[in-house]
Chains A and B, each alone.
Chain A
Amino acid sequence: MASSPLKVGTNEQDMGMSARIRAFDWSKTPLGPMEHWPDELRVALSIAEHSAFPTAIYWGPELRLLYNDAWAFIPGERHPGALGRPGREVWSDIWPIVGPQFEQVLETGRGITALEQMLPIVRNGAEQETYWNYSFTPITDPAGKVLGVFNQGNEITKAVVSERRLAFQIQVADRLRSLARPEEVWAAAAALLGEYLGAARVGFAEVDEATDSLTIVREWRRADPIPALQGRTTRLSELPPAAVAYLRTGEVLAIADVDEILQGSSEEDARVGAKLGVRAVVTVPLLRDDRMRALLYVHDLEPRVWKRSEAAMARDVAERSWAAVERAESQERLRESEDHYRHTVELNPQVTWTALPDGQLNRVSRRWFDWTGTTGLGETWAEGLHPDDREATFEAWGHSVAKGEPYDMEHRVKMLDGRYRWARSRAFPRRDNAGNVCLWYGSTEDIQEQRLAEERQRLLINELNHRVKNTLATVQAIAFQTLKGDISLGEARARFEARLLALSRAHNLLTEESWEGASLERVIADTTAHLAGDRERFHVEGEPVFLSPRAALALSLALHELSTNAFKYGALSGEEGKVLIGWTLTDEILRLEWKERDGPPVAEPARRGFGSRLIERGLEADLAGRAELHFEPDGLRCVIEASRQAIQGREANRV
């Protein structure tokens, strides 16, 4: 077998390992020429050469290396130079790990198996984390001495890495799922990705293209001193336009060395790059509806060749975070909306309710329970209504449900204390896109007070109308009576006005007491005050009596006539005269006496005027009693007797 220099040539490149081994000049190694190799080595080599599984033999104290075709891919660029060389030299990069394992086999004579063993192999000038399953099996002589190590194994880096990636993705998903607030999501995702990639800084920025702004919302930083960006806002237009344009396409932008990229770029871009203070960058744009809405950035302080899997993982985390944030935001909105609804419903004085398209109530607010002590669901709603109102209510509701028309009904609701209160129920249908009713939204409102107020108002207005009409009839009578007979127009006008004023004063007095009546004393005072500037001329004496409105009005007008007469013709027409007014009360009767004194002599008039007639006839009717005028020579005497029951106002009844 010709020994040939192991210079790389086309033929040699294509050579199989068996040929290479046979072409190798073993005489220059401790193994010596092949023809002198021991049987153990020959047998082992034969097995290796025939195995399709990556197999190597480390022989002798120096563990010189032989391997098959399947194994030739393992050492990368070290092949084919690894053949025949000591293991320690070939695997200097991983010797700290595998060296002790070889020694163990050599010393103990027992094989070992390494599973998922990480080996930091240098490939293409860069150390790589690789993973392996392999075995070291001792090759011994008949005496049991270990001559070499039989090695079979394969690389499982891809499987391990993808498993790790998967585990990481699961971890991210689990973590994000438990978070309810958008900021928590951003923060957790940044930290997880930062740890996973061993980056210096990972953060999320919210982008608003409409306002040209980019705000860092959450950021994770390694312990290394590296400036924080969180909270900063910058303009999108201040970033390198080429980078922004690239991100807008939705692609991940990975830069291994910022400085290298920026060489020869504009001064402005260089300034922005320098401001970042980092050398390696991965940026993931998050687009929705073709607009950039957020960014994830990964920064490292040193240049770094980003693996495709790393960029892919950054994108994966960014998308997961964005989805989680959107979910959190929508949950927050839902919570807000539910909270709003709950407050609206609970603080609402009305009962709010919803009903299914068939009219069945499916939700009734708590207030119904507060009112009636029942849920309002099922039969209890109808049972809460006044029996007389149920049929009309069912009919109206049935009509609305059948026609899909708004519902509006007044009915009485039985309250917890057993009393009924008027309520107004209304409902409007909500329709789906096809126009079908999908839910009824209803409310039931207590309108008891409103109803009572309306009733009171109606009565008041009727009563007011009645009183006004009656008063007008009285005014008509006064006018008619005043204008009757032989009287000058001027005199008639003066008398009419005076009588109207007397009526008006009586109304004032009654209004002060809410038309419940007036005290006799007040009636007398009001009637006489305007006539006698000097109150001394009236001597009033009597126990308190509260008159009904009718009695008060009748007495006011009667006393007005008496006073006017006394002022014009009687005791008050002179300087000395006076009027004594006194009354006594028995169980049955009020007896009031008007007596004039010290006036001019009195004579019975030839003809009775309106005043006399009003007193004698009118009081009879209004007071259910009688009134008599006595034209006594020393002064007029008027005696009025009234049924106590007929004249007493409400206040007296209360006493």
Chain B
Amino acid sequence: MSERRLRILIVEDEMLVAMNIEDMLLDLGHEVAGLASRLEPALSLAGEAQFDLAMLDVNLAGQTSFPVAEILARRGIPFLFATGYGIKGIAEEYRSYPVLQKPFRARDLEQALSEAVAG
């Protein structure tokens, strides 16, 4: 169980999956700070919105979410990846961040969130 209630940004281009993640996070006692399904809105949210942690899908309608990760890293906001590609789909410099292989269980999500927060 998470020790604290996190405000989380979801970057995910599959509506059903996003909805599911949302439900999982709510069930885990967290709050959804925002949802972006495209790179452009994701970049602006990552740069401006207030949240504790971000979950990033890697492939956003054909574009990678690594620019988003770059902004987050600069801002010092923890994040994790959730992707169908697995670790091999992650750019070299971000492989130290937690990676969730889709599909994943609520338990896996919880663990990854802890890891991400712990840095």
Please state if B61 and A467 are interface contacts (CB–CB under 8 Å): no
B15 at interface by CB-CB < 8 Å: yes
Please state if A466 and B84 are interface contacts (CB–CB under 8 Å): yes
Residues of B contacting A621 in the complex (Cβ-Cβ under 8 angstroms): 12-15, 18, 35, 37
Please state if B84 and A618 are interface contacts (CB–CB under 8 Å): no
**Per-residue interface assignment for chain A, residues 449 to 471, with 1 indicating a CB less than 8 Å from any chain B CB and 0 otherwise:** 00000000000001001111110
B23 at interface by CB-CB < 8 Å: yes
Of residues 508 through 559 on chain A, the ones whose CB sits less than 8 Å from some CB of chain B are: 550, 554, 557
Q: Looking across the interface, which residue of chain A has its beta carbon closest to that of B59?
A: A466
In the bound assembly, the distance between CA atoms of A554 and B17 in angstroms comes to: 12
**Per-residue interface assignment for chain B, residues 36 to 70, with 1 indicating a CB less than 8 Å from any chain A CB and 0 otherwise:** 01100000000000000000000101000000000
| Min distance, Cβ B18 to any Cβ of chain A, angstroms | 6
| Min distance, Cβ B48 to any Cβ of chain A, angstroms | 19
B2 at interface by CB-CB < 8 Å: no
A135 at interface by CB-CB < 8 Å: no
In the bound assembly, the distance between CA atoms of A550 and B19 in angstroms comes to: 16
**Per-residue interface assignment for chain A, residues 611 to 627, with 1 indicating a CB less than 8 Å from any chain B CB and 0 otherwise:** 00110011111101000
Known: A466-B59, A466-B89, A470-B84. Is A481-B102 also a contact (CB below 8 A)? no
Q: Looking across the interface, which residue of chain B has its beta carbon closest to that of A622?
A: B15
Residue from A550, A620, A621 whose CB has the most chain B CB atoms within 10 Å:
A621
Could you list 12 further interchain pairs (A-B, Cβ under 8 angstroms) beyond the known A462-B88, A550-B61? A466-B59, A469-B103, A473-B14, A474-B17, A476-B20, A477-B19, A481-B23, A617-B15, A621-B15, A621-B37, A622-B13, A646-B61
| Min distance, Cβ A640 to any Cβ of chain B, angstroms | 13
Please state if A480 and B23 are interface contacts (CB–CB under 8 Å): yes
Known: A462-B85, A481-B20, A624-B37. Is A619-B103 also a contact (CB below 8 A)? no
In the bound assembly, the distance between CA atoms of A621 and B34 in angstroms comes to: 12
B16 at interface by CB-CB < 8 Å: yes
Residues of B contacting A469 in the complex (Cβ-Cβ under 8 angstroms): 83-86, 101-103
The 23 listed contacts between A and B (C-beta, < 8 Å) are A462-B88, A462-B89, A466-B59, A466-B89, A469-B84, A470-B14, A470-B17, A470-B102, A473-B16, A473-B103, A474-B17, A476-B17, A477-B14, A477-B19, A477-B20, A481-B16, A550-B61, A618-B15, A618-B16, A620-B15, A621-B12, A621-B35, A621-B37
| Min distance, Cβ B86 to any Cβ of chain A, angstroms | 8
Please state if B84 and A474 are interface contacts (CB–CB under 8 Å): no
Give the size category of B's interface with A: 20 to 34
Residues of A contacting B35 in the complex (Cβ-Cβ under 8 angstroms): 621
Residues of B contacting A619 in the complex (Cβ-Cβ under 8 angstroms): 15
Please state if A476 and B103 are interface contacts (CB–CB under 8 Å): yes
In the bound assembly, the distance between CA atoms of A478 and B15 in angstroms comes to: 11
Please state if A622 and B85 are interface contacts (CB–CB under 8 Å): no
Residues of A contacting B102 in the complex (Cβ-Cβ under 8 angstroms): 469-470, 472-473
| Min distance, Cβ B22 to any Cβ of chain A, angstroms | 9
A271 at interface by CB-CB < 8 Å: no
Please state if B16 and A557 are interface contacts (CB–CB under 8 Å): yes
| Min distance, Cβ A460 to any Cβ of chain B, angstroms | 13
Q: Looking across the interface, which residue of chain A has its beta carbon closest to that of B36?
A: A621
